[in-house]
Structure 1
Amino acid sequence: MIARLVLGALLSAMALGQLVSFDRMPDILTTYGLTSGAASTALAAALVAAEAVGGLWLLARPRSRNAAPAWLFTAVAVAWTVLAAQAYARGLAIDNCGCFGTYLAQPLRWFVLVEDALMLAYAAVLLHGSRSRGASRDRDRTEGRPHRGHRVSDPGRDEERSAEKS
């Protein structure tokens, strides 16, 4: 749960920084050399939307094991990793990686790739947590066992308890 809160705060902060400096985001993304013009604007909008929805979802429902916010986090992590890795491999000089828009700017260097690798690792943890909880919940349903402390009623046993109390 704490990891979901921290990662939700991180995604929300990224979305906020990018949203506040949205007029610069297409230019920042264009420096990565994969998109330009309308495609950079669309990519910026998609990143901000995924970060905002995923981040707020993780913050609002940290105990939920719904896989949707984990997949949003994963999509964001993969997008930033692809952008950074290909630009670094091509030797592009990028003054601001853009993760927080124009805020907390840092140049693209090897350390950004380490940060991206950590984001991918956190994404794997989120996905694993979503799957393992979902799988056990599905198994409980198919095997007729109660989930999360819900008691399954047994009419014969309930009658015995009533008789014992009288």
Structure 2
Amino acid sequence: MKCPYCGNPDTRVIDSRPAEDNSSIRRRRSCDECGKRFTTYEKVETIPLIVIKKDNNREQYERAKIENGVLNACYKRPVPAEEIQKTIDAIELSIFNREEKEIPSSEIGEIVMENLKTLDPVAYVRFASVYREFKDANTFMDELKKFLR
């Protein structure tokens, strides 16, 4: 593993253990050249998941898109970064636990909304307003009423 600080191609593993999500291995590494330490994560490579968009186009699943959606929904909310990452991990786990090669984007959106409901109600409504494409205040109020029940 190449050192991210000095570029030395030879580093050694100091500690290795399962990551918090138990789906990857967390490794602490040390560079013999500059002496700095860093962490890497090792995951099993799987067959790429294909997302079926609303217009029936297909594209490869990208975790970054879910991260962006959740981060935007939680913008300026009192939600710790660690909780946001745990939520993103839980969303991704739900998606991959379906063991399907293709998944509609609408199912991903529903999974994200379910997880945001428990994370932060305002983040949930923000995400829902974009995902469900609220056209007016009445649509927005209908969603709020569903949430409050």
- What TM-score, normalized to structure 2? 0.30
Higher relative contact order by CA 8 Å / sep ≥ 6: 1 or 2?
1
Going by fraction, where is helix more abundant, 1 or 2? 1
Going by fraction, where is strand more abundant, 1 or 2? 2
Larger Rg: 1
